[in-house]
Amino acid sequence: MFATSTCALTSAAYAQAPRAYQAVPVTFDHSAAGDPDLTALIVTLKESVGNSDLDPLFKALSANVAVITCPVDPLVPCAPGKRGIRQAPANLSPTERIRQGLCCTGMAKNEITEDLRKETVTGLIAAALEAESIGAHPDVPGLACLPAWPIFDRAKAEAAVRATRIDKENLRVTTEELVLRAKPAADAPEAARLPAGQIAPFMTDLDQPPPDGWYAIALPQGGIGYSDQVGLNELTPSGLCFAKETSGWKIALFVMRDQ
């Protein structure tokens, strides 16, 4: 699957070159994407949020909607009730859970205006609704999330982290085939290709950071490759999830990530 090159291991210039690791593929469950009722709800929400009208959003909230903030570690389950998860108080109304859970953490109360709260909530929800694909939540059966979450073997991903010596939060998933080069230059020899739908260890702690526009990825065969393609996504992105209830699809979960 991977092209090799003697130039691919130029990472000797770095203090600790990443070791080889087993490639970690990801999959997506897009089964809810073809549901016409869910599609119609998303279209309605896009239009209303685009017009800064949050009433349809509030009407679409499940009575049990949760707003959670997950740790930066993408290898731990990110779901209500899981260890390390912060959650908006359940004794608040669904609307207040959204208003308080999505806005203004860390700000002084006297700095939080109604306009700021509305602008923040609108912006976060609008960004989630613009996601190109919807997929099942890997840890909560029945939820369909925007954007789609990758499903992968966490044990294999942990092994890749140990081999490459990166921080877990620097794991990414490829959204297209990545051509990785031996050096951060368009005319450098090709070191490897990572297919779309594979975990990519994003290298940041380098003695010689790549120039602007380029980034470094630890290669499955060991060493480092470079790319200037825009083809990486978060493993556990912020977004929102829907659940199908007796009355139809409802917004059941909002996910935030620690920065």
In the CATH scheme, what is the code of domain 6-27+153-234? 2.30.30.40
What order of strands is seen across the sheet that includes strand 171-174?
190-194, 178-181, 224-227, 215-218, 199-203, 171-174, 232-234
Could you give the residue range(s) of every CATH 2.30.30.40 domain in the chain? 6-27+153-234
CA distance 162 to 20: 10
Domain with CATH 3.10.450 in the chain: 31-151+236-257
CA 3 to each of CA 84, 102, 192, 206: distance values in angstroms, whole numbers, following the listed order: 40, 45, 5, 23
Q: How far is it, in rounded angstroms, from Cα 89 to Cα 31? A: 31
The string of pLDDT tens digits covering residues 166-213 is: 999 999 999 999 999 999 999 999 999 999 999 999 999 888 899 999
Which pLDDT belongs to residue 100? 79
Q: What is the pLDDT of residue 188?
A: 97
Max CA-CA distance within the chain?
A: 61
What angle in degrees, to the nearest 10, is found between the helix axes of 114-129 and 36-50? 140
Measured CA to CA, the distance from residue 237 to residue 74 in angstroms comes to: 9
Q: What pTM did the predictor assign?
A: 0.86
| Order of all β-strands in the sheet with 61-70 | 86-87, 61-70, 248-257, 239-245, 143-146, 135-136
Task: State which fold the 31-151+236-257 domain adopts.
Answer: Nuclear Transport Factor 2; Chain: A, (3.10.450)
- The number of residues in the chain equals 259
Whole-number Å distance between alpha carbons of 162 and 48: 45
Cis previous bond, 147, omega within 30: yes
Q: What is the CA radius of gyration of the chain?
A: 21
Q: What is the pLDDT along the chain (259 residues), one digit of tens a residue?
A: 434 343 433 444 444 689 999 999 999 999 999 999 999 999 999 999 988 888 999 999 999 999 999 998 999 999 999 988 999 898 999 988 888 777 766 666 776 677 777 777 888 889 899 988 999 999 999 999 999 999 999 999 999 999 999 999 999 999 999 999 999 999 999 999 999 999 999 999 888 899 999 999 999 999 999 999 999 998 888 899 999 999 999 999 999 888 6
pLDDT the model gives residue 104: 67
pLDDT digits (tens, 9 = 90+) for 97-110: 888 777 766 666 77
